[in-house]
């Protein structure tokens, strides 16, 4: 169970669970005989048939083009199309040598594509289940307005783990339901930092949406890392 440490506007906090609610598709893909399909990985080509290797062998693209017309140097007849199972991701140099130590950088560019700055990439630690809870800031944004402000790329449903956390989350959901608004939530001591759900993950701005029906509630946390701006 994935847990989230959250505090309401009264600074009362609780550890609750969150999960993705995947909606199963009613469409089922089958083979011509009606049997269920099976996804497999198939080898397209080996390193020896890559463009880099072909350039080393034929010197330029014109020569490669002629070779493609005359034959199939980009295909290994013995290996292409075989089914593969277990795979590992490798990083290669320009010479197709395996790299065993990788340094990651964040590259900042100007609108014209010119590199402006290069910073060593540091993985942000998770901050959603630590001693300092994420905070409901009380900042409400009407639903009709927020959908024009942000692109939401991910969402999780927040769920109670016992009776006390049910009351805690129900009150938050009820407030949001009655105001027909989203509420901004943030991490850190001031409650203004973006949320990072696991070490090295993308930081997201987060907003709560609540719905209630009788004694039932639904509390959803929407995540965004893209803001919509008007074109001047």
The pLDDT of residue 95 is 79
The pLDDT of residue 97 is 84
Residues 70 and 151 in one domain: no
Residue closest to 169 by CA, chosen among 1, 8, 2, 3? 8
The pLDDT of residue 128 is 94
The pLDDT of residue 192 is 92
This prediction has a pTM of 0.67
Q: Is 51 helix (H, G, I), strand (E, B) or coil?
A: helix
The pLDDT of residue 214 is 94
143 and 152 Cβ atoms separated by less than 8 Å: no
Residue 102 domain-assigned (yes or no): no
Residues 217 and 134 in one domain: yes
The pLDDT of residue 55 is 86
Residues 220 and 165 in one domain: yes
Residue 120 domain-assigned (yes or no): no
Residue 115 domain-assigned (yes or no): no
Q: Which residues of the chain have pLDDT under 70?
A: 231-232
Residues 138 and 203 in one domain: yes
Residue 116 domain-assigned (yes or no): no
Q: How many domains does the chain have?
A: 2
The pLDDT of residue 75 is 85
42 and 81 Cβ atoms separated by less than 8 Å: yes
Residues 154 and 213 in one domain: yes
How do residues 65-119 score in pLDDT, each as one tens digit? Answer: 998 888 888 888 888 889 988 888 888 887 788 888 777 788 888 888 888 888 8
175 backbone dihedrals φ, ψ, rounded to 5°: -60, -45
- Which residue range forms the structural domain that includes residue 195? 3-21+125-227
Residue 104 domain-assigned (yes or no): no
Residue 26 domain-assigned (yes or no): no
The pLDDT of residue 231 is 67
Residue 211 domain-assigned (yes or no): yes
The pLDDT of residue 4 is 93
Cα gap 228→142, rounded to integer Å: 16
H or E element, residue 37:
none
């Amino acid at each position: 169970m994935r847990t989230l440490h959250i505090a309401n506007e009264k600074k009362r906090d609780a550890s609750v669970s969150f999960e993705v609610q995947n909606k199963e598709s009613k469409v089922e893909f089958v083979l011509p005989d009606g049997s269920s399909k099976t996804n497999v990985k198939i080898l397209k080509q080996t390193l020896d048939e890559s463009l880099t290797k072909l350039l080393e062998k034929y010197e330029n693209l014109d020569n490669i083009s002629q070779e493609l017309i005359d034959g199939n140097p980009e295909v290994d007849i013995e290996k292409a199309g075989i089914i593969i199972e277990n795979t590992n991701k490798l990083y290669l140099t320009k010479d197709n040598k395996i790299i065993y130590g990788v340094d990651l950088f964040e590259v900042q560019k100007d609108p014209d594509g010119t590199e402006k700055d290069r910073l060593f990439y540091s993985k942000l630690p998770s901050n959603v289940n630590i001693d300092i809870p994420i905070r409901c800031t009380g900042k409400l944004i009407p639903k009709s307005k927020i959908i024009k402000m942000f692109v939401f790329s991910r969402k999780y449903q927040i769920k109670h783990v016992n009776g006390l956390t049910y009351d805690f989350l129900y009150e938050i959901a009820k407030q949001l339901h009655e105001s027909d608004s989203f509420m901004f939530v943030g991490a850190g001591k001031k409650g203004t930092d973006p949320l990072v759900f696991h070490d090295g993950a993308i930081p997201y701005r987060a907003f709560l949406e609540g719905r209630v029906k009788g004694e039932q509630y639904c509390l959803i946390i929407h995540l965004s890392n893209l803001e919509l701006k008007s074109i001047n």
